[in-house]
Structure 1
Amino acid sequence: MNTDSIDAQAVPEHPVRLQGAAIAYGGQRVLDDISLDIAPGERVAVIGPSGAGKTTLFRLIAGLVKPAAGCALTLGEDTRRLRGRRLARLRRELGFLYQQDNLIPQLRVVHNVLMGRLGHWSLARALLSLLWPQQIERARAALARVELADKLWALPDELSGGQQQRVAVARLIVQQPRLVLADEPVSALDLRLGREIIGLLCQLAQRDGVTLVVNLHTLDLLQGHFDRVIALRGGRLFWQGEPAQITQHLLRELYGAEYRALHLDEIEVQE
């Protein structure tokens, strides 16, 4: 099948569709022959050892890198052909969450939350919002959903790490994206706070009909949150299935030398 000829308009039902996609840096492929579909509203976790290509996969989906081979469709758009307004529209409909919350420390929480509306506002309104926040009630409602309504006028450095990441989730809520890509969003938090943030992201996906893809370093957070797990190894799709299907044998094969160092033998899965 010639994946270069895929018609993006023929498959808008898949927020993510990759067919034979590959990414190369310096002539070396870091992703190779990746084919997968992610359905609307699906909650997907991506796992794998260091250097497996997880972050590169997210960059491919986001259109930040172009496939060297195959095809990548995101929200029905062929990312190789995006320019101008079509690219801006895709950026507006994509939400991002990273290990670092990317809050602007000089701006109050209300301003940081309303950054999620920038793709929907004119330049004049965005600049005005820096002087006097626009749509304050929208920001307050989003913060209430993450239990931080009383922090509307706080500065980021007045918040704990977990609270700062909650503000970043509130920013996603006001953005109203169709697809959220979260790249190791809880690796800087302890397990309890990590569970809270993953829970909030999954609530966002369920309540607002958002498709969620999360790059997870902490495998204890898989159970009870995700519909599917995608495992990468050496830049290739190694395995995919439901979280309940993961076994210790699979983890040993997937992580190799990292298996003991990551204490994966302590995770409660099938042997």
Structure 2
Amino acid sequence: MEAVIETAASCVGSAQSAAQTVFVAENVGKSFGPTQVLKNISLSIREGERVAVIGPSGAGKTTLFRLLCAVLKPSEGRITALGHDTGHLRGNALRGLRREIGILYQNDNLIPHLRVVHNVLMGHLGHWSLPRAILSLLWPQDLAGARKALGEVELSEKLWSMPGELSGGQQQRVAIARLMVQQPRVMLADEPVSQLDIRLGREIIALLSDIASRMGTTLLVNLHTLELLEGHFERVIALREGRLFWQGAPSEINRELLLELYGAEYRAMHLDDVVLSAKV
């Protein structure tokens, strides 16, 4: 397995000259008190790439995402995000980086007492002045932009709805529309479909992949359900016990690898039922 990791790492390194990298992690570790969550992570993500991150519970997937978007700083090593060393960013420079990175969470993070249009226009907050943001709460300042983004996720008719009137899948689509308004260079989706059934999950992942392709945006998705890999990702990164376990094309995943990766979770996740024919 170490040989596989070394081979994959060398392939990633040789590809860096072909496309600009948006993220580079160099020997990254992250600890919370005495607990080391990530250990010696080295990887890179190219601009425009679509990458899925998989691994068992507690593998460090969410922590990795928080490091990439500079919500957390590494305890060891260095992360370069969009050309910036995240460990040294402060103030306006840090806010500027976060404007370029859109995040989709497990929960849609909509504000329940604001209408859909206002939630979508939250994507502008990193660019608008405070007076304009406050004014937009009284009357939406980019109504056409909000309507267009909602049209892209097939929710034009929900412009003036309240979030509580929407289904879980619709709420996540509103969150995606908010990302489209933000116009980030990178989209990080942290288990965005964990609370949806498999049919809705497929719809959301397909929508994210399609939007990322059309916008030319880099997409990283933390996935718990492996059925959702099919057809949407160029590369898969697997974490186990805080370490980089494997990376490669979805079509290279096999039962032996999944059994070693997930261990005791393999049967609980019904991975014997997963069809391993993923192709981009």
Match of residue 30 from structure 2: 23
- 1:52 maps to 2:59: yes
- 1:147 maps to 2:154: yes
| Deviation (angstroms), 1:73 | 0.7
| Deviation (angstroms), 1:14 | 1.1
- For the Cα contact (< 8 Å) 1:66–1:79, is it kept in 2? yes
| Deviation (angstroms), 1:13 | 2.3
Match of residue 236 from structure 1: 243
Paired residue total: 259
- 1:137 maps to 2:144: yes
Match of residue 126 from structure 2: 119
Moved over 2 A (4+): none
RMSD: 1.0
- 1:172 maps to 2:169: no
- 1:69 maps to 2:76: yes
Which stretches in structure 1 are left out of the alignment for 5+ residues? 1-11
Amino acid at match of 1:146: V
| Deviation (angstroms), 1:131 | 0.3
Aligned mates of 1:55, 1:63 — CA distance in 2: 12
| Identity in percent | 65
Which stretches in structure 2 are left out of the alignment for 5+ residues? 1-18
Match of residue 92 from structure 2: 85
TM-score by structure 1 length?
0.94
Aligned mates of 1:27, 1:70 — CA distance in 2: 17
Aligned mates of 1:85, 1:65 — CA distance in 2: 16
Partner of residue 220 from structure 2, selected from 210, 213, 217 = 213
- 1:262 maps to 2:261: no
Amino acid at match of 1:129: S
| Deviation (angstroms), 1:268 | 1.0
**1:192-228 deviation line (CA, Å, top 9, x unaligned):** 1101111111111101111111000110000100010
Secondary structure at 1:174 match in 2: helix
| Deviation (angstroms), 1:242 | 0.5
TM-score by structure 2 length?
0.91
